[in-house]
Amino acid sequence: MKISASYWMFEGGLDGAKPVDEAMREAKALGYDAIELCVASSGVLTDRTSEAECRVIAAEAKRIGIEIASVASGESWASSPTANDPAVRRRIIDFTARGLQVTRWLGTDAYLFVPGAVSVFFNPDAEVVPYDVCYQRAQEAVRQLAPVAERCQVRLGIENVWNMFLLSPLEMRDFIDSFRTPWVGAYLDVGNVIQFGYPEQWIRILGQRIARVHVKDFKRSIGTGDGFVDLLEGDVNFPAVRQALAEIGYDGYVTAEMMPWTPERPGRTAAALKKIFK
pLDDT at 196: 87
Rounded Cα gap, residues 258 and 136, in angstroms: 31
Into how many domains does the chain fold?
A: 1
CATH code of the domain covering residue 100: 3.20.20.150
Range of the domain at 134: 2-277
Asked if the bond preceding 260 is cis, omega within 30° of 0, the reply is yes
Rounded Cα gap, residues 188 and 195, in angstroms: 14
> Rounded to whole angstroms, what are the CA distances from 157 to 130, 268, 274, 275?
23, 27, 24, 26
Q: List pLDDT tens digits, range 27-61.
A: 999 999 999 999 999 999 999 999 999 999 999 99
pTM, to two decimals = 0.97
The whole-number average pLDDT for the span 170-188 is: 98
Q: List pLDDT tens digits, range 85-137.
A: 999 999 999 999 999 999 999 999 999 999 999 999 999 999 999 999 999 99
